A and B are shown apart, each in its own frame.
Chain A
């Protein structure tokens, strides 16, 4: 069995980011877009962990700390995002972002 190396994690992280981006760009439902954004955030966290794990040792647990903060912020962001979705739904009676286009010029 091949020992996992840094590029393996970076490629997983890049794939996760691209999937998240694709979801955020292509889904019509606001909640799925939120899920996409969460995935992109998770990819960034994976990067922090990978660079810390394969960096020079021993090292202070900076990567872990930053990731834990990012997860906390992501939780708050998800709460705000869901609240926005509910508010948008109450106003427009839909969660389809294509129809929420009142800011068009």
Chain B
């Protein structure tokens, strides 16, 4: 039973992939078929994922894998495989479910787009690549799918290729994540060099199992950090987070897919997958590599939460919010709360997809307006969007008891408070919670409350095909919390490989009151600050310098432009100069010498050898012409010559005797 499931695990990414290829072969006008194939592929993948999910529920700590040889060279054989464990199973279900909602939403959102079919092909491809990452039992296979995710994101962020900003954003996303991937790839090579295997689980000899880990020794720290480079690139961790907000140039369903279900989740998932590498030789749950993860996560979470406060673009606020939440997940993984981090990843997948699709609905309703300062008062015009968006916002802010985000956040805060080296991350994360509530309140008030400003005048509610996914995701964002509470920590124990027990008295923890106070403080502060929202932000009025600093994303893009890109440009110009004048000159010199030699040889050939042969043949021909002129064809002349010759011989004979 179990082996048959893992043997058919590859079908889960293969079905959307096949759908993607089928859709690519359709023409632009076959819209219904394209959407149908994509959604059908996703539904099948979801059903298969549920089928794979089922056996993992039966046994705690369930793990099956199937490895096979990809190719062999000499003594070595490169083996890849698939693995099914609780981590993979929940990710599969979450990804397929959220993707399905996003696919359905896209049918409405992209209805007017000319390249509707191509869009669904890319979406399916994106989802397939991400599912491949999740079920990979080999770092190499994971890396391949990981790069496919990168490719899909490039295609989708730059989907509106006619916009220069979209093309630039796609390029930026691709190149920035590639910088991280270089580190990742070096880590893979190093790991292979030390342990001789890239399989995660291989019956005791995999890289994440005892034998494999023993062979690593102290290099595990560096390998883990190199792999973290890749994770930081994909999950938008500081200092490689700059691509994520720019990725908003893509169509909104793409943003939802990138930020909720696929791309950014890959980084967090990767760290969770190779967690044994990070925690190898841990003393009291602390290793150097995990400490790096914690601090990078803290910096990312805080910086982006601050930047989100001053962004005017509805999607950019959500983008920075994602970066911030990813930082929080990294902190959680770093301090040892792997289950908490993954729980937050899953919950975040639901409510961030909800928020992005909600923002898509808002943008759609306001005729492609994205500036929240030009919206306002949409509450009455778009009631369903408002209601679902509010649920997403409350879940993201972490309002306790009813919303998924609250329980996972509480879990993470609890984990950070247990971290022995320092209490600073814990306090900074508490500040992050307040900031999150604050910027989400700001966005809510700007978009849905107050006066109707310019773009809100003709706003309309979106069609039902867009409403349905919002409602499904809202239900998930609330309903998901059932398995997260401390009273019945089912998901936590499921991920940790234990059996959950039910104890209602544990529902209310001291941390809950604390969290409630923090969130209330954030929302209250937000209402106080933004209750009379106008075109000019209240922070801008009182602290213009700070606002401009945050609005311009702490000048980080400009800093990169001046430093790294400046150097790159300088190097490029230097190379260009060298190429143009030095190397080109050298090549031209060689070419000139060659031509000179060729000319010499040619003239020698023509004037010397050729002319000599010509002269020799000339003499032969002249001789021939002379001799041939003697042959007049007159028989009697020949005859007379013979007679004269005969006579001469006769006289010669007479004279000699």
Q: Which A residues fall within an 8 A CB radius of B?
A: 21, 24-26, 33, 97-98, 100-105
Contact = CB atoms under 8 A, between A and B. Distances in A.
A101 B633 contact: yes
A80 to B, nearest CB: 16
B641 to A, nearest CB: 10
Interface in B603-644: 627-636, 639-640, 643
B634 A101 contact: yes
Q: Give the interface SS of chain A, mostly helix, strand, loop or mixed.
A: loop
B636 A25 contact: yes
Given A21-B643, A25-B643, A104 B636 contact: no
A24 B636 contact: yes
A97 B634 contact: yes
Interface string B197-216: 00000000000000000000
Contacts of A24: 636, 639
Nearest to A97: B635
16 contacts: A21-B643, A25-B639, A25-B643, A33-B636, A97-B634, A98-B636, A101-B632, A101-B634, A103-B631, A103-B633, A104-B632, A105-B627, A105-B628, A105-B629, A105-B630, A105-B632
Interface of B: 627-636, 639-640, 643
Contacts of B627: 105
A25 B629 CA distance: 20
A24 B643 CA distance: 11
Q: Which 6 A-B pairs have the closest CB atoms?
A: A105-B628, A101-B633, A104-B633, A105-B631, A103-B633, A104-B632
B632 A25 contact: no
Contact of A102 (B629, B633, B640, B643): B633
Contacts of B639: 24-25
Nearest to A101: B633
Contacts, number: 32
B649 to A, nearest CB: 15
Contacts of B630: 105
Interface of B is mostly: helix
The interface centre, meaning the residue of B628, B630, B632, B635 with most chain A CB atoms within 10 A of its CB, is: B635
Contacts of B643: 21, 25
A24 B629 CA distance: 23
Nearest to A98: B634
A101 B637 CA distance: 11
A100 B636 CA distance: 11
Contacts of B628: 105
A104 B635 contact: no
A27 B643 CA distance: 16
A29 B337 CA distance: 132
A105 B628 CA distance: 4
Given A21-B643, A25-B643, A97 B629 contact: no
A97 B636 contact: yes
A56 to B, nearest CB: 23
Nearest to B626: A105
A104 B640 contact: no
Contacts of A21: 643
B44 to A, nearest CB: 96
A101 B627 CA distance: 16
B651 to A, nearest CB: 15
Contacts of B633: 100-104
Contacts of B631: 103-105
A21 B642 CA distance: 11
Contacts of A98: 634, 636
Contacts of A105: 627-632
A24 B639 CA distance: 8
Contacts of B640: 25
B2 to A, nearest CB: 104
Contacts of B629: 105
Given A97-B635, A105-B628, A105-B629, 15 more contacts: A24-B639, A25-B639, A25-B643, A97-B634, A97-B636, A100-B633, A101-B632, A101-B634, A102-B633, A103-B631, A104-B631, A104-B632, A104-B633, A104-B634, A105-B627
A33 B631 CA distance: 20
A74 to B, nearest CB: 18
A98 B628 CA distance: 18
A104 B627 CA distance: 11
A98 B639 CA distance: 13
A100 B635 CA distance: 9
A74 B129 CA distance: 111
Nearest to A30: B635
Nearest to B624: A105
Nearest to B640: A25
A91 B636 CA distance: 20
B637 to A, nearest CB: 9
A21 to B, nearest CB: 6
Contacts of A25: 636, 639-640, 643
A24 B637 CA distance: 11
Nearest to A28: B636
Contacts of A101: 632-634
A7 B636 CA distance: 30
Contacts of A103: 631, 633
Contacts of B632: 101, 104-105
A77 to B, nearest CB: 16
Nearest to A18: B643
A29 to B, nearest CB: 11
B128 to A, nearest CB: 89
Contacts of B635: 97, 100
B636 to A, nearest CB: 5
A102 B633 CA distance: 6
Nearest to A26: B636
A84 B480 CA distance: 125
A12 to B, nearest CB: 19
A25 B636 CA distance: 5
Nearest to B632: A104
Contacts of A100: 633, 635
A97 B640 CA distance: 14
A98 B636 CA distance: 8
B626 to A, nearest CB: 10
